[in-house]
Chains A and B, each alone.
Chain A
Amino acid sequence: MSLSPEQQRDMLRQMQTIRRFEERASDDFHNGSIYGVVHCYIGEEAVAVGVCAALNRDDQIISTHRGHGHCIAKGADLNRMMAELYGREAGYCKGKGGSMHIADFGIGMLGANGIVAGGIPIVTGAGLAAQLEGKGRVAVSFFGDGASNAGPFHESINIAAAWKLPMVYVCENNLYAAQTPATQTLAYQDVAARAAGYGIPGVVIDGNDIFAVHEAATEAVARARAGDGPTLIECKTYRWRAHTERVNQPDYRPPAEIEEWKQKDPIDRLVQHLKQQQGQLSDEEWQTMDDEILQEIEASVAFAQASPFPPPEAALDDLFAAENTEAHHG
């Protein structure tokens, strides 16, 4: 399957949008405009973008605590995302969620989730819903190598395999579960090898190669849509920043390792590919694209700052869905 230069430039734009969004979010976290926690995805952008490019709008995904990339790749609105990080009323969750809990059910983004592996059963339920509906939708679970060691991963994939649910499980193996290296927690480093035990295909790919990610995802999505059940895709990748933006929290990873992975920058790889292999991107076009993205990010910050904080009494809203009526039902 070949991607047109235009599709490739769209992917590049999305990856760079994720990176610029998070650079701004971490700056604004450190200057106090964003609260709590911010987990950056920088370095892993090819996974979210490559997978989501293989999906339709009504396909569903679920994310992790490191969720900005999946939101943007699925088509979320930057303004409402930034407003949520700022804790404002115009945010996706009206200021109830923050960075770790952004969702947009309207575009099939079932939420970032603050519990490692917590989202895997939920999106598997979306896969069950898709199967019961029979309209060919698929659901994709994004999770990390840390989650692959937790019960919900095994329980959910086993069920999806047994029921041939239209699922794709995407392990973003960034080699660390928070601060703990995977070498200390996995006897065998390829998570995808576990697929064999569930009787489903498992593939290991270079998660920093967007073409490899997109190709694997396209194949897995086709298999899921055809009713042949789930696939486990493991994307080997790396996050450039610490587990979470936190003041005075040392990052124990070897600097040389971080530097080595920066040399494998998924964005730069696509830029070079477009420039050299195809002559489809000039230096000037790339600069223009980046400028436009920075303007969008700036606009999202302005949007967030212009939105009021929710009134304190709004803390009581939305605990339960409004009283059910026949009109709501069915």
Chain B
Amino acid sequence: MAEISYAQAGMDAVAEEMRRDPKVFHLSTEAPRPLVEEFGASRVRATPIAEGALTGIAVGAAGSGFRPIVNWSSVTFSFVAMDQIVNQAAKIHYMFGGQVKFPILYRASVGGGTRRAAQHSQSPYSMFMNVAGLKILLPSTPYDMKGMLKTAIRDDNPVILFESGRLNNLKGDVPEDDYTIPLGKADIKREGSDVTIVALAWLVHEALAAAETLAGDGISAEVVDPRSLVPMDAATIRASVRKTGRLVIADEAGPTAGAAAEISALATEDADTFAALKAPVERVCALQVPIPYSPGLEDHVFPDRNKIVAGVRKVMAAGR
């Protein structure tokens, strides 16, 4: 085990996969120095600021036998590449009848809390979840980041790995030996019996802090981290809710048609899970506005541990 940061775990995963497989190469508007030094400027290319072209170049290279990684940096820069993401990368395998594989990893940071205002603080993963043909990942720890990123590179499909910018410096134990984490497997980050908190990315850590606070009041919260939004591990989420009878969902994105709405539907449309619910489902999400700049405004918009605690108290009080 080594204690490394979330960002370093991502960097290590890419380097290890590039060592492992000569077909892996890297495109981004700024080439990561350590990767250039180890693998050279041909495999680790600094590109023009032209994310649309980069995104499509990855599709063509993947269809020609390579395993490209494109780092958009922030998700905000992916929007100029929407045609290539939605019309090309997501559909090309299906539309051409599965003739060849398109193994591509797209990476992008999401989230806020960095006082960068609306265009550089957002969590629009549900927009991409809505597009059939993309796998969508959202790790919350250095361990998950490294294992899932490796799985994503080895996957034969377009995968978008969203990473929480707030977690870049978070440290955690990561094995030094090769390991991967299967996609579509949620992780129970804390076991509990009174309420299930399904939390995403940075909010996993806020939920764990909230659970600690709640434990002081005798409320036992289970924290479930889906880790992978497509495919989503509905079975683990439902099993947890059947056990606790209460569901709070914490997401840094706004609530409208978001991942939290999807998780709520997956839980409640299952008859056994619905029957086990003792209270209405509660979503603890960002307010449905662009993220504002001034600290007081931004903090007001985002959910945090206190809002999760309040959400849990609400469902405990509403119990039947």
Residues on A close to B: CB < 8 A?
Answer: 60, 62, 91-97, 101, 103-106, 110-111, 113-115, 118, 120-130, 132-133, 139, 151-152, 155-156, 158-159, 162-163, 317-322, 324, 328-330
Question: Is the pair A317, B98 in contact by a Cβ cutoff of 8 Å?
Answer: yes
Q: List 16 A-B contacts (CB under 8 A).
A: A93-B96, A93-B99, A97-B96, A111-B96, A121-B59, A122-B60, A124-B57, A124-B60, A125-B58, A125-B64, A128-B57, A128-B61, A163-B45, A319-B132, A319-B133, A324-B155
Contacts A92-B96, A155-B50, A324-B154; is A125 near B87 (CB within 8 Å)? no
What distance in Å separates the Cβ of A169 from its nearest Cβ neighbour in chain B? 13
User: Which of A110, A115, A155 counts the most chain B CB atoms within 10 A?
Assistant: A155
What distance in Å separates the Cβ of A136 from its nearest Cβ neighbour in chain B? 14
A126 to B99, CA, bound (A): 16
With contacts A162-B48, A322-B156 known, what are 9 further pairs, Cβ within 8 A? Answer: A92-B96, A93-B96, A94-B98, A111-B95, A127-B60, A155-B50, A319-B93, A319-B132, A324-B156
Contacts A159-B53, A322-B156; is A115 near B88 (CB within 8 Å)? yes
Interface residue tally for chain B (C-beta within 8 Å)? 48
A140 to B84, CA, bound (A): 19
In the complex, whether B56 has a CB less than 8 A from a CB of chain A is yes
A101 to B95, CA, bound (A): 7
In the complex, whether B16 has a CB less than 8 A from a CB of chain A is no
What distance in Å separates the Cβ of B246 from its nearest Cβ neighbour in chain A? 34
Q: Chain B, 100-133, contact with A by CB distance < 8 Å: what is the 0/1 string?
A: 1111000000000000000000000000000011
Question: Is the pair A318, B61 in contact by a Cβ cutoff of 8 Å?
Answer: no
In the complex, whether B21 has a CB less than 8 A from a CB of chain A is yes
Q: B24's closest neighbor in chain A, by CB?
A: A330
Question: Is the pair B21, A125 in contact by a Cβ cutoff of 8 Å?
Answer: no
Question: Is the pair B97, A92 in contact by a Cβ cutoff of 8 Å?
Answer: yes
A177 to B97, CA, bound (A): 29
Q: B231's closest neighbor in chain A, by CB?
A: A320
Q: Which residue from A93, A125, A127 sits with its C-beta under 8 Å from B59? A: A125
A72 to B63, CA, bound (A): 20
Q: B92's closest neighbor in chain A, by CB?
A: A111
Question: Is the pair B64, A130 in contact by a Cβ cutoff of 8 Å?
Answer: yes
Q: B27's closest neighbor in chain A, by CB?
A: A128
Q: Which residue from B88, B96, B100, B155 sits with its C-beta under 8 Å from A96? A: B96
Q: B84's closest neighbor in chain A, by CB?
A: A121
A129 to B63, CA, bound (A): 9
Question: Is the pair A151, B52 in contact by a Cβ cutoff of 8 Å?
Answer: yes
Which residues of A have CB within 8 Å of B21?
A: 329-330
State the total of A-B contacts with C-beta under 8 angstroms. Answer: 153
A220 to B293, CA, bound (A): 52
Question: Is the pair A120, B56 in contact by a Cβ cutoff of 8 Å?
Answer: yes
Q: Chain B, 17-45, contact with A by CB distance < 8 Å: what is the 0/1 string?
A: 00001010100000000000000001101
Which residues of A have CB within 8 Å of B95?
A: 93, 96-97, 101, 111
What distance in Å separates the Cβ of A261 from its nearest Cβ neighbour in chain B? 31
Question: Is the pair B64, A320 in contact by a Cβ cutoff of 8 Å?
Answer: no
Which residues of A have CB within 8 Å of B47?
A: 159
What distance in Å separates the Cβ of B77 from its nearest Cβ neighbour in chain A? 13
In the complex, whether B66 has a CB less than 8 A from a CB of chain A is yes
What distance in Å separates the Cβ of A268 from its nearest Cβ neighbour in chain B? 35
A94 to B98, CA, bound (A): 9
Contacts A105-B100, A321-B157, A324-B156; is A122 near B93 (CB within 8 Å)? no
A320 to B102, CA, bound (A): 9
What distance in Å separates the Cβ of B304 from its nearest Cβ neighbour in chain A? 36
A120 to B53, CA, bound (A): 8
Question: Is the pair A320, B133 in contact by a Cβ cutoff of 8 Å?
Answer: yes
Shortest 10 CB-CB contacts between residues of A and residues of B: A125-B60, A121-B56, A318-B98, A129-B64, A155-B53, A93-B97, A125-B57, A155-B50, A321-B156, A122-B60
A86 to B280, CA, bound (A): 50
What distance in Å separates the Cβ of A33 from its nearest Cβ neighbour in chain B? 20
Which residues of A have CB within 8 Å of B84?
A: 118, 121-122, 152
A104 to B45, CA, bound (A): 29
A139 to B61, CA, bound (A): 11
